[in-house]
Amino acid sequence: MHLLAEFQEGLRIAWEAIRTNKLRSGLTTFGIVIGIVTVSLMATALQELNRSFHDAISFLGTDVLYIDRREWFVESDQKWDEVQRRPNITLPQARALEHGLGMVLGVAPTVTYMVDSVRHGVRSSTGSITIIGTTEQFLVTGGHTLAAGRFMTKAEAEGNRAVCIIGSEVAEQLFPGESPLGQMLRLGEESHTIIGVFAKRGTAFGQMSLDNQVIVPIGKLVRTFVSAPNCTIQIKVGDDARVAAVREEVRGLMRKIRRVPPGRPDDFAINQQEQLQGEIGRVSAVIATSGFFITGLSLFVGGIGIMNIMFVSVAERTREIGLRKALGARRRTILLQFLLEAAGICLFGGVLALGCTAAAIAFAQSFLPKATLSLSVVVLALGVAAVTGVVSGFLPAWRASRLSPVEALRQE
């Protein structure tokens, strides 16, 4: 109880000191404000980056493997040259993998082709359209949901029928206010019957539309657009715990199918979502390191300012300190008073900084609508401010607590 009373008394005296010197306290917090704004914006930016990234890659699926000719991330120019010389993954190889693979939910070879537009009568779509040739299992491996109609059947996929499933953006552009089902879509020189429409999915990485797609049987795409395609094979495992085991099984089968000699490196890549997560982790680490350096520099400068002003405060109130000690105030009471004063000044700066941060985030919401000042960032900012105040004010507070009452009372 006695310690609590000392804390309350120290808090009251510290508040009176700050209130008496409002201008000086306000100017002293400037460096702290810059540092706390920096740490708040950095933490908010990292949260938004991670949230946006995880939203963007969620369509890939945590239990889906992507077999391709090249890795998603190539580390050097030499490696890139080697990757470029790898032979394409062919459709027969994809089918051989599908037949040889064990218990998985689905295996779908895909071939992608970009066109400037697709047509329905006199209407044309705007923006690049991704045409994906695949099989009936793509609905399982690709994570799509149908908003209307149906997906292609195995007979339609194997028979290379002129059917297609379109993304929601294509449907909105070519069939405003009407159902696309049963309508004809012109792809190149051939017309395809629309049998399904995908539900809206948005964009990946803020740029690549997942709704500007047209899905057709893979053989139809190869005959119409691509004579020597490179296939990407999607494998839906269905259980995160089995992904590593299936990955090794796929690697062994692909080496056998592509006749890679023992001792030679793989001439294909097995990609998955966690590779992108590792890459964003490295980007976040770089941003965090840069942000912490700037924050540390700002807080160091601000802390020096707090320390100087606290030394001035101790010098101005030397007689007061001597009188309080003569009347029985303990060293820890004096120490606590000045620590609370320094922490209070920094917390005041932290509150101002949070106001500036909230204003900056409100402005940024015009192009980052989901950005918010989270409770964790508020706690972090105020915690950093309080710690900075305690650290910066410790030496002046320690000196004040060590003053001799006799010597202090002699000061003019």
pLDDT digits (tens, 9 = 90+) for 291-342: 778 778 878 888 888 888 778 777 777 787 777 777 777 887 888 878 887 8
Shared domain check, 69 and 49: no
Q: What is the pLDDT of residue 2?
A: 53
Q: Per residue in 266-282, pLDDT tens?
A: 888 989 887 777 777 77
Shared domain check, 289 and 236: no
Query: Taking 70 as the threshold, does the pLDDT of residue 285 lie above it?
Result: yes
Shared domain check, 156 and 42: no
Task: Count how many domains the chain has.
Answer: 2
Cα-Cα-Cα-Cα torsion 406, 407, 408, 410, nearest 10 degrees, comes to 90
Give me the mean pLDDT over the 102-120 stretch: 87
Give me the mean pLDDT over the 233-244 stretch: 87
Give me the mean pLDDT over the 198-208 stretch: 70
pTM listed for this prediction:
0.68
Q: Specify the range with the lowest mean pLDDT, choosing from 36-50, 137-151, 360-374.
A: 360-374
Last residue of a domain, one of 271, 291, 309: 271
Shared domain check, 226 and 92: yes
Last residue of a domain, one of 222, 243, 271: 271
Shared domain check, 392 and 285: yes
Confidence band for 58, pLDDT divided at 50, 70 and 90: low
| Interior angle at CA 253, CA 249 and CA 254, nearest 5 | 115
Q: What is the mean pLDDT of the chain?
A: 81
Q: Per residue in 88-107, pLDDT tens?
A: 898 899 999 988 887 888 89
Give me the mean pLDDT over the 47-66 stretch: 75
Alpha-carbon gap, residue 213 to 198, rounded angstroms: 9
What is the residue type of 66?
Answer: Y
Shared domain check, 267 and 291: no
SS3 content of the chain, % helix, strand, coil (to 5): 55, 15, 25
Shared domain check, 359 and 229: no
Last residue of a domain, one of 271, 301, 323: 271
Query: Taking 70 as the threshold, does the pLDDT of residue 1 lie above it?
Result: no
Residue 191: φ, ψ to 5°: -100, 140
Which domain, by its residues, includes 44? 2-56+277-410
Give me the mean pLDDT over the 156-177 stretch: 91
Shared domain check, 339 and 406: yes
Query: Taking 50 as the threshold, does the pLDDT of residue 208 lie above it?
Result: yes
Give me the mean pLDDT over the 190-218 stretch: 82
Query: Taking 60 as the threshold, does the pLDDT of residue 11 lie above it?
Result: no
Give me the mean pLDDT over the 209-221 stretch: 88
* Residues in Cβ contact with 181 at an 8 Å cutoff, skipping those fewer than 6 apart: 148, 149, 194, 195, 196, 197
Shared domain check, 211 and 69: yes
Q: What is the pLDDT of residue 135?
A: 93
The residue ranking higher by pLDDT, 286 or 153, is 153
Alpha-carbon gap, residue 334 to 346, rounded angstroms: 19
Give me the mean pLDDT over the 280-288 stretch: 78
Under DSSP, is residue 103 helix (H, G, I), strand (E, B) or coil?
coil
Tell me which residue of 19, 84, 91 sits closest to 344, measured CA to CA. Answer: 19
Strand partners, 123: 120
Q: What is the pLDDT of residue 13?
A: 57
Q: What is the pLDDT of residue 233?
A: 92
Under DSSP, is residue 406 helix (H, G, I), strand (E, B) or coil?
helix
Shared domain check, 95 and 50: no
Query: Taking 90 as the threshold, does the pLDDT of residue 134 lie above it?
Result: yes
Q: Specify the range with the lowest mean pLDDT, choosing from 151-160, 207-216, 381-390.
A: 207-216
Query: Taking 80 as the threshold, does the pLDDT of residue 357 lie above it?
Result: yes
Shared domain check, 112 and 229: yes
Give me the mean pLDDT over the 247-252 stretch: 91
Share of the chain above pLDDT 70, in %: 86
**How many CA atoms, within 13 angstroms, populate the side-chain half-sphere of residue 261?**
2
Shared domain check, 68 and 21: no
Q: Specify the range with the lowest mean pLDDT, choosing from 43-52, 75-84, 186-195, 210-219.
A: 75-84
Confidence band for 185, pLDDT divided at 50, 70 and 90: very high
Confidence band for 155, pLDDT divided at 50, 70 and 90: very high
Q: What is the pLDDT of residue 18?
A: 57
Give me the mean pLDDT over the 39-55 stretch: 77
